[in-house]
Structure 1
Amino acid sequence: MTHSVLPVAPSVDVIEKTFADLKARIPRQRALSAKERIARLDALYREVWKRRNDLKTAMWNDFRKPAEEVDLTEIFVIKSEIKTVKRNLHRWMRPKRMPGGLAQIGSASWVRPEAKGVVLIISPWNYPMQLVFRPLIAALAAGCTAMIKPSELTGHTAQVVAEIVSAAFESDEVAVVQGGVDTATHMLNLPFNHIYFTGSPAVGKIVMKAASQHPCSVTLELGGKSPVILDDMRSFRDAAKKLAWAKLSNAGQICVAPDYVFVPANREAEFISALKRAMLDMYPGETSANKDYQRIVAPHHAKRISILVDDAIARGAKCVLGGDIETDSCFVPPIVLTGIDKNAKILEEEIFGPVLPIIPYTSLDEVIRFVNDRPTPLALYVFSKRKRFVDSILSNIQSGGASINNCVIHVSSNYLPFGGLGNSGIGSGHGEYGYLEFTHLRGVYEQRFDGAGALLMPPYSSWKTNVIDRLLRWL
């Protein structure tokens, strides 16, 4: 099945020919049984497993991602997603009988799940395999063909991904198109049936505008500033450890990474001490020499983080843990900031790096106001053993998803919807929710014998008017 990989930044003609081939295959793809769709997912995972070491090497070369985290956050996630789809796909694909009302007497109704068609998957660089293949799994399960645009910032991984796809699928079923902004622009001009984009809110708006020209449906998995709210707990040790992992894993380059932490004002010093201890225990010794500590993906991203930190310090913030940011080598050490001015850029822009601002609070109302004055976050984290405290936050602060007494790990679930709200995204992914994003739910109505509706068509005599009046009063 292996076919040649498309060249990087192919011509417009090649992109359009690839799209035409994907579109031509749709009738056959839609007709695939659950068993045939599952066979394609199995083929994908076989190739991923075959190229396991190549993926580890590629991600190390792209941004020094530890091999263990490639296994845990890339390959394991894909295997888990495929297992969930295989276990449930037959049920998801079945037409679902629907009830009717008085107007539907003598009829039958059902919902028929159907593939949307040709889909475009635009993936980011922070999880350069997982965020390509997780939506692809959903698209294939739904019976779609797919064009994939991986990030050019993780070029080594994008090449391995392209080779995996070429070995697992026919060229008119799944195609990987590598390239930069110009390539993405050409792709967005094509009349896809659905676009699944993962990335920043700014680029998400560009994708949404392009989709409106066709038009087509979109899934936008964006980002935002995900807050953490700590209750006045007996001990901060467990919360500090989980926060340290969530903030420093992938060097903080996670769309749902904790972006700032609210801590009771009278316990701020205690929490900071626990957090620093947890971070140093996780990455002991010289951080820059620690093989488990990842790099920022590119110098300009490291520079962006450095500017945010410098702005906060210039406005009076104190760095209680940190070191020099080396932009050329893309190294940003774990940084913890306190005493942050409310107008600092770091409280407005998504950090996407291993920097954690700490904000003391004296009342929960001020926390709720602060979060609600900003765009809806992709994730919301609450650490508390008090149900009333948790319920108050969940009832008063909206977010794409929420996690209680943990961070980030909710994203690994194949049974929870993962998606944003407003500025943090549109639509949901993972498990059945991902399958439904690529599925058109077609309502089908069949009249089996005439009901009362046929008797109430024009001309409207006095008795028909009387019957209509009685119906409205009775219903």
Structure 2
Amino acid sequence: MKQIINQQKQYFNSNVTKPVVFRIEQLKLLRSVVKSHERVLTEAIYKDFGKGNFNTYLTEFTGVYHAIDKAIKNVRKWSKWKNAATNMVNFPGRSYIIPEPLGACLIIGAWNYPVNLTLVPAIAAIAAGNTVVVKPSELAAHTSEVLSNMISQHFDPSFFAVVEGGVKETTELLAEQFDKIFFTGSVPVGKTIYEAAAKNLTPVTLELGGKSPLIVAPDANLKTTVKRLVWGKFVNAGQTCIAPDYVLVHSSIEQSFLSLLKKEIEAGKYSFANDNYAQIISKKHFNRLVSLIDPAKVFVGGNHDHANRIVAPTVVTNVSVDDKIMEDEIFGPILPVLTYENIDDAISFVKSKPKPLALYLFSEDGSLHRRIWNEISFGGGMVNDVLMHFVNDNLPFGGVGNSGIGSYHGEAGFRSFSHFKSVIRRPTFIEFPIKYFPFSKLKSLLIRKAFGV
């Protein structure tokens, strides 16, 4: 491990990774390698989750291919020096902002989308001109093994390497001095990552989570609301960091909403046979989810299969804010439905919780849209849809407060793995004596004039 990191630092300091041509070559190679391993990666994800081909391609590979293509197309523009205005006291100099790579980067991937959430940050790091060590999640063990073999067979480990393992290996990695750490995962582990990074003053991007609310206003188009909500909540069996964690529905439409919700879940026919569902990643997570289900409050679902780690799409009602299910992020196919009487109550409730990674509002009222955006802090979100803001890489994706630090996707990812160096170049053919000794009242007056005092 130490050898790989030292080699990466030496490789970076040789300046090999900095030319844009090199970056593009490596991105093209990565695209080719992922494409040639698409089948074996799909098989590995099936072994880890039981997730079928369609959902795997949709949720894993489309984002990776798009991220690579966007980086290849734009990396020259992103990497260019930018001219900046020069103030009067530096006249006649010229000012520049120069993007430069940070160096050796550590990317700790997540298990819920083990290809996308591991490789997309790596793509950003490569585009920015860094070397990369990837640590895939050990929970998606089959996918981790394929990623390790795939990358080690096609890339110089001095540039791009994989370290497999669990807590022990991650702890050892965090003891080393990287130039950037990128982590996707839970809030508790994110805090551990942040603490370790602080010892070396290493910059971090933390993509965490939280209880992302979905608010349904009285004027919402309920049929569309329910259709989009059910898809977004139960894709990947709810194991999505930006999945709606709970619903706040206006009391006047609660029964209509629940009736449509039940019909839509039944129509979805969620099962492995239909290629539209997934296993819970581990027995530990399965047992945690089952413990959250109060049979007396189940409106739909509640069934579970311990042997196959399956929890059926479940809706619970009559939920109290003090219930266990409302304490932490659910990260599974259980949806609590709460009601509110007026929007002030809903806003106050959301604001009383840690800042969520996502927020969703279903309403046709533009003034309500703006009020929610202005009054509630959250990482990102949508009006009248769920999850799909994640795939618009023109938008930075990231959390705020407890839900994360920093952002990525598209140019935001390039910026996350870059330092923007500020420099001024001044000519030597002229020099003004105003800042030099001896001082005078005239010089003092001119300085005050120059700074507008």
Match of 2:252 in 1: 266
Q: What fraction of aligned residue pairs are identical, expressed as a percent?
A: 37
Work out whether 1:294 is the aligned partner of 2:278.
yes
Gapped runs of 5+ residues in structure 1? 1-14
2:382 is the counterpart of 1:403? yes
Q: What is the deviation of 1:52?
A: 1.2
Distance across 2 between alignment mates of 1:92 and 1:390: 33
Q: Is 1:65–2:37 an aligned residue pair? A: no
Correspondence list, 1:73-152, <5 A = 73-152=59-138
Structure 2 SS opposite 1:443: strand
Q: Do structure 1's residue 24 and structure 2's residue 10 form an aligned pair?
A: yes
Question: 2:314 is aligned with what amino acid?
Answer: I
Give the residue type in structure 1 aligned to 2:365: R
One-letter code of the match for 1:184?
Answer: T
Distance of 1:214 and 1:268 partners within structure 2? 51
Query: Are 2:423 and 1:444 equivalent residues in the alignment?
Result: yes
The answer for the alignment partner of 1:7 in structure 2 is none
TM-score (norm 2): 0.96
- Mean Cα displacement is larger for which, 323-332 or 134-143? 323-332
Pairs aligned (count): 453
Closer, same or farther: CA 295–106 of 1 in aligned 2, 3 Å: same
Matches within 5 A, 1:426-437: 426-437=405-416
* 1:8 paired residue number: none
Please tell me whether the aligned partners of residues 107 and 122 of structure 2 are also in contact (alpha carbons under 8 angstroms): yes
In 2, the alpha carbon distance for the partners of 1:44 and 1:164 equals: 10
Distance, in Å, in 2 between the alignment partners of 1:153 and 1:31 is 32
Structure 2 CA distance, aligned partners of 1:62 and 1:31?
Answer: 34
Contact 1:336 1:357 in 2 (8 A): yes
Indicate which of 330, 342, 346 corresponds to 1:363: 342
Structure 1 residue corresponding to 2:306, chosen from 302, 323, 327: 327
The residue aligned with 1:180 is: 166
Q: 2:19 aligns with which of 12, 19, 33?
A: 33
2:328 aligned partner = 349
Shift of 1:450: 7.1
The answer to whether the 8 Å contact 2:136/2:164 transfers is yes
Q: Which of 227, 234, 237 is matched with 1:251 structurally?
A: 237
- The one-letter amino acid paired with 1:50 is S
**Cα shift readout 1:175-223 (whole Å, capped 9, x = no counterpart):** 1010110000000000000000000010001001101111210000000
Shift, 1:55, TM fit: 1.0
- How far off is 1:460 after superposition? 2.1
Q: Secondary structure at the match of 2:140?
A: helix
Aligned residue for 1:275, secondary structure, equals helix
Give, in angstroms, the shift of residue 168 of structure 1: 2.8
Q: Distance in 2 between matches of 1:40 and 1:468?
A: 51
Which residue identity is paired with 1:440?
H
Runs of 4+ in 1 over 4 A off after TM superposition: 287-291, 449-453
Deviations 1:8-27 (A, max 9, x none): xxxxxxx1111111111003
Letter in structure 2 aligned against 1:263: V
Q: CA deviation at 1:404?
A: 1.1
Q: Residue 261 of structure 1: SS of its match in structure 2?
A: strand
Tell me, in whole angstroms, the C-alpha distance in 2 between the residues paired with 1:454 and 1:135: 50
> Which of 206, 219, 223 is the equivalent residue of 2:192?
206
Report deviation, 1:67: 1.0
Distance 1:351 1:30 in 2: 44
* Rounded Cα–Cα distance in structure 2 between residues aligned with 1:459 and 1:257: 67
CA contact (8 A) 1:381 1:403 kept: yes
CA RMSD in angstroms, aligned pairs only: 1.6
Query: What is the letter of the counterpart of residue 155 of structure 2?
Result: F
AA aligned opposite 2:362: F
| 1:239 equivalent in alignment to 2:218 | no
Residue 328 of structure 1: CA displacement?
3.9
**How far apart are 1:465 and its partner, in Å?**
2.4
CA offsets 1:241-266 (integer angstroms, 9 cap, x no match): 11000010000000000001111101
- Given candidates 275, 288, 293, the residue that maps to 1:304 is 288
Distance 1:113 1:264, change over 3 A: same
Distance 1:244 1:29, change over 3 A: farther
Give, in whole Å, the separation in 2 of the partners of 1:137 and 1:336: 38
Amino acid at match of 2:310: F
3-state SS, counterpart of residue 281 of structure 2: coil
SS at match of 2:408: coil
Indicate how the Cα distance of structure 1 residues 31 and 448 shifts in structure 2: closer, same or farther if over 3 A, else same. Answer: farther
Q: Which residue does the alignment assign to 2:398?
A: 419
CA distance in 2, matches of 1:466, 1:234: 64
Letter in 2 for 1:368: I
Shifted more, 35-44 versus 454-463: the winner is: 454-463
Aligned to 1:467: 446
Code of the residue aligned with 2:359 in structure 1: it is L
